[in-house]
Structure 1
Amino acid sequence: MYRLSYAEIMEDAPDLGRERERDAFDRALSQLRTAEAQGAAAGPARSAAVGSIQDLWNVLIADLLDPENALPESLRADLVAIGLWNMREAGEVLSAPDRSLAALIEVNTSIRDGLQ
């Protein structure tokens, strides 16, 4: 049976983390795209889609603000700023049902693509 050393596991952990983050973005983006395509008919699905991106950014912002986060401070600050923009935009989208989800989709697609 093959056994991984602790160092090998730790070496692979960042890749696994990025993969999980990409998957989370993929799920949220899929919901946003579906809601955008449905337009006004999306109703509760639109709210759920926007809620999923808010939930994702809540988790990411909390992690970025953690003093133990190993990312460079300037990158963490930039990502927190993007996260806060996402939260504001999501609030605007929820308060205006006719507002497009395109900006949320575009920005979060860019972030997801940067995780590769």
Structure 2
Amino acid sequence: MTNISAARQGYGSASAPTRSYKSIEYDVLAQITRRLKAAADKGPSGFAALASALHDNKRLWNVFALDVADPNNKLPDSLRARLFYLAEFTHSHTTAVLRRRAQVTPLIDINMAILRGLRGGAD
């Protein structure tokens, strides 16, 4: 077998198609939302898992905030502003949940609304 034929065999057919950013965002957000729900369902015994999921959720929303704050972002200004507000709310509400002064439900609801938007929009 020549080097070229070995390369063709190894790289010739990709097993997974290229994914869009929207698809990746959806999958990451869905995974974090599932973790938030599962930890919340455990009640006080799931607080460590909840804290971990909240941390990841907050990091993701920080990425969203940076993305919509970028002047080169192609989303409409009004949508960018609303998403930035949601990122700010997520940040402050996460702190309240970690201090056990608020419920995680609003964060799950926000994520679910974004998931519906990502799923319903054209790719």
TM-score by length of 2: 0.78
Shift of 1:100: 2.4
Alignment counterpart, residue 113 of structure 1, candidates 107, 111, 116: 116
| 1:101 equivalent in alignment to 2:111 | no
RMSD over aligned Cα, in angstroms?
A: 1.8
Residue pairs, 1:6-85, within 5 angstroms: 16-85=20-89
* Aligned-partner Cα distance in 2 for 1:43–1:20: 27
Q: Is the 8 A contact 2:93 2:102 kept in 1?
A: no
Deviation by residue 1:43-87 (Cα, 9 ceiling, x = unmatched): 211110111110110111001101111111111011101111111
How many pairs are equivalent? 103
Q: Is the 8 A contact 2:40 2:104 kept in 1?
A: yes
Structure showing greater Rg: 2
Deviation by residue 1:66-116 (Cα, 9 ceiling, x = unmatched): 1111111111011101111111111110111x7421111111101111111
More helix by share: 1
User: RCO (CA 8 Å, sep 6+): is it higher in 1 or 2?
Assistant: 1
* Aligned-partner Cα distance in 2 for 1:81–1:29: 19
Deviation by residue 1:11-50 (Cα, 9 ceiling, x = unmatched): xx9x711111111111110110111111100121111011
TM-score by length of 1: 0.82
Point out where structure 1 has 5 or more consecutive residues left out of the alignment.
1-12
